[in-house]
Structures are given as C-alpha cells and as structure tokens.
Amino acid sequence: MIIGLTGKNGSGKGEVAEFLCGRGFGYCSLSDVLREEVKRLRKPLTRENLIKTGNQLRKKFGPDILAKRVIARLEPGRHYIVDSVRHPAETRALKTVNDFFLVCVTASPRTRFHRLKKRARESDPKTFKEFTKLESIEGSSRVGSDQQLDKTLKLADYTIRNSGSLDVLQDEIGRVVNAMARKKKRPGWDEYFMGIANVVALRSNCIKRKVAAVIVKDKRVISTGYNGTPRGVRNCSDGGCPRCSSLAASGTKLEECYCSHGEENAITQAAYHGVNIKDSTVYTTFSPCLACTKMIINSGICEVVFNADYPLAQNAVKLLSEAGVRVRKLSIH
C-alpha cells in the first residue's frame, strides 16, 4: 500500500505520516527531494526557495520529475507514505505504482495558521495576510509546470479532516487505511500461479525464448520448470545448444535443439523428487508443444492453463481435448 499525502500548509500531513511510520510504513517525501536540490544549489532552505526550485525542476524535467525520483526509491513489498504531493502530474505518475492511494489532509485556514505560529519555524509566514498570500501562490499558477496544489487536492481518493484532537485524527487515519485495505484486490488463484510461472521463466538460460511451467495441486505449487539445456550440460546462453546458438528460424532445426521445455522440466523434476502430479494443473507461459502435451497426458495432469499461444500448438491442443485434459487460456501481462 502506497499512500500519497497532499494538503495545504499546516493541515497535519506530518502527523499522519508520523502515525503511519510508527505502524511500519516507510517514508518518502517529494519535499525531501526538493530540499536535497536546494542544498545542492547552496540556497537557504526557505519555503519560497523550495517552491521556486520545485517549479524550476518541473519546467526543466517535466511536471512529474519529483514523483519519478521518489518512485525510484521505493522498495518492493513495503508499505510507504509519500508526502507532499503537489501537482496533478505527480499524482498520475504515482498512480502507475500498484496500490497507490492519494489522501488529502484538510483543516480550516485559521486552524492551519495557528498551527504554523505554534511550531514557529523561521521560514513560516508571520501574519495571516502573509499566510494567505503564500497559500495562493502554492494553490495555482498559469504556468502548467508550476505547483498546482488546488488541482491536486481534487484528485484525492480519500480525505482526512484534521480539525480536532490528535486521538480523533488517529481514529480517522485508521478508518481511511482500513477502507483502502478493503478496496485492494488480491490476485485470483489463476493470476497468482501464472505470475509465479512468469517469474520462474526469468531463470531460463535459453537464447531464443524464456518459457516456464508451474504444476499446482490443491492450490499449492508442487513443481516448477523452465526451458534450458539438461542438468550438467553447458547453458544455452553459453553455447550449449547448437540450434539456439545459430539463431535458427522459428519452426526449423528442432531436431538440433538441446533445450528441454518448461513443462518437460516441471514434470521430470517432480519425478526426480518423487512428487505425485496426478490430477494436478500445469500453468505454463506458452501453450505446450506436441512432445510436452504427450508428457502432460501420460503424467496424469488434468488441466493446462497457458498465457500465450505457441506457434506450433494446434495439434497439441486437439490432442489434449481428445484425452480429456481441460485447456484454458489466461492472458496476463
């Protein structure tokens, strides 16, 4: 879960971030990217310099540059808070990350001004007039690459109103995070197992094509295999297969290919380790060839789920159907 925080100065984004960081969320801030740039330019860390530098970066590298720099820092498998989202393009860039939600933190102008006075930062405005003037600059601009906070607020998926006590704010955070968790969709079993097959394919050392198969029984992976040269033989990528090394045209010189197919390796690996695969399902990144089809039928596998069509698989599919093996195509990317 990646939670982006947007909101006007003094709304309480920092309190929201601190609360969630205490619950295991990692923290990244677009403002930190700006601070790094301001320090690099050897300028004072004032709010005006941060706004000006941000606008210059967006103009030079595109309005989503800060978001892109933060995305590059996100580690897979972790929850994150991404603080200080201030431009619609930043929001669009962050929404390319799975499970991203934008949260707007709001409070009345007077409440926010009193909070700024209480924290007493040197760079904060000293009067309400200065406060509203700076807020107007932050809110909108005719220059598209400049900060566009007002437009960004309207893109929020959720809103947290922060006008009461800290306990009330934390209850509201809990409500919103639980709503996000309910909205997140887990992958179905088919997508899950095919996703595993696609990862397994990354282990393939074949020069021409990376293919993998995962054998599943009772919603449990019991064997995997990817295409490549036999055990103990030089890898295909190291010149172990004459057909692949010569980059033979598709469908030709198949008799010279030393590589075993993904389905073949998954089945033989199960046999090697004494694993019963009768009545199982094989998820394969390509529909099986004729040779693998015969192995699938004779090993007792009852269902084949494939991601992409193998060019020479028409007879294989017919044979699977004749043998009573269910065949399904599942298109995922």
- In the block, tokens 């709503």 appear at 179
If one counts every other C-beta atom within 10 angstroms of the C-beta of residue 123, the result is: 11
Residue 260 is classified by DSSP as B
Backbone angles phi, psi at 39, to 5 degrees: -65, -40
- Contact of 202 with 210, CB cutoff 8 Å: yes
Burial of 319 (0-12, 13-18, 19+ CB in 10 A): middle
Strand ranges (E), 149-232 = 158-161, 212-217, 220-226
Q: E strands, the chain, where? A: 2-6, 26-29, 80-83, 100-106, 158-161, 212-217, 220-226, 281-286, 303-308, 326-329
Q: What is the DSSP-derived secondary structure letter of residue 236?
A: G
Distance CA 103, CA 149 (A): 13
Decide if 255 is catalytic: no
Angle between helices 128-139 and 109-119 (to 10 degrees): 110
Q: Of 224, 227, 199, 202, whose CA–CA distance to 213 is shortest? A: 224
Catalytic residue among 263, 264, 303, 322: 263
Whether the Cβ atoms of residue 210 and residue 236 lie closer than 8 Å to each other:
no
Task: Give the residue from 168, 29, 154 showing the smallest Cα distance to 94.
Answer: 29
Using DSSP, state whether 282 is helix, strand or coil: strand
**Which letter does DSSP use for residue 261 in this model?**
P
Tokens of 74: 């996100």
Q: Is 21 exposed, middle or buried (0-12, 13-18, 19+ CB in 10 A)?
A: middle
Q: Which residues are catalytic?
A: 263
